[in-house]
Amino acid sequence: MAAERAAGLLAVVLMQARQEEELAARGRGDFLTDLAEGRIAAEDAPAQARVLGFRPGEAPLLPVVMRLTPELSPSGNWSLLTRAVLEELASVGVPVLLGVRPVEGRVPLLLGLRSEGERTAVADRVAAALRAGVERAGLDRAGSR
Model confidence at 141: pLDDT above 60: no
- C-alpha distances in angstroms, 124 versus 59, 88, 130? 18, 13, 10
pLDDT score at 33: 95
Q: For residue 121, what are the domain limits? A: 2-142
The Cα–Cα gap between 82 and 25 comes to: 8
Q: How many domains does the chain have?
A: 1
What confidence tens digit (pLDDT) does each residue in 50-73 have? 999 999 888 899 999 999 887 777
Buried b / exposed e across 96-131, counting CB within 10 Å, b at 16+? Answer: bbbbbbbeeebbbbbbbbeeeeeeeebeebbeebbe
- What pLDDT score does 144 carry? 43
Strands (E), 14-141: 61-67, 96-98, 106-112
Q: For residue 143, what pLDDT is reported?
A: 45
Angle value at C-alpha 54, between 19 and 44, nearest 5 degrees: 105
